[in-house]
């Protein structure tokens, strides 16, 4: 997941890949998908959140990350605006 990519964009792409893998006969466990999502998160998601999220289902993890992204986005935008105005 890139720093500019949203949780929704990333998880949509990942779930499409999982769907394609399963349709080809691969067995993909939910735990593997959760681990992939967590290992791909950028630094804006702190480690405490990641550790807490390891036991969630895929849909609960995605909801959890979307909520976190929603509440941290205004803070990120104001920091980016400050950096841009200083430049």
The single-letter DSSP state of residue 45 is: S
Q: Find the mean pLDDT for residues 60-64.
A: 91
Total number of domains constituting the chain: 1
* pTM exceeds cut of 0.85: no
**Is residue 1 one of the residues assigned to a domain?**
no
**Is residue 82 one of the residues assigned to a domain?**
yes
Domain that holds residue 75: 7-86
Q: Find the mean pLDDT for residues 24-29.
A: 94
Structure token digits, residue 10: 């990333």
**Is residue 34 one of the residues assigned to a domain?**
yes
Confidence of residue 23 (pLDDT cuts 50, 70, 90): very high
CA distance 54 to 14: 17
Which one is predicted more confidently, 15 or 47? 15
């Amino acid at each position: 997941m890139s720093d500019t990519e949203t949780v929704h964009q990333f998880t949509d792409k990942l779930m499409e890949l999982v769907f394609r893998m399963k349709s080809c006969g691969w067995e993909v466990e939910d735990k593997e998908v959760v681990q992939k999502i967590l290992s791909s998160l950028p630094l804006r998601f702190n480690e405490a959140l990641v550790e807490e999220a390891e036991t969630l289902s895929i849909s609960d993890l995605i909801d959890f990350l979307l909520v976190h992204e929603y509440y941290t986005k205004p803070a990120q935008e104001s920091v980016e605006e400050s950096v841009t105005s200083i430049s």
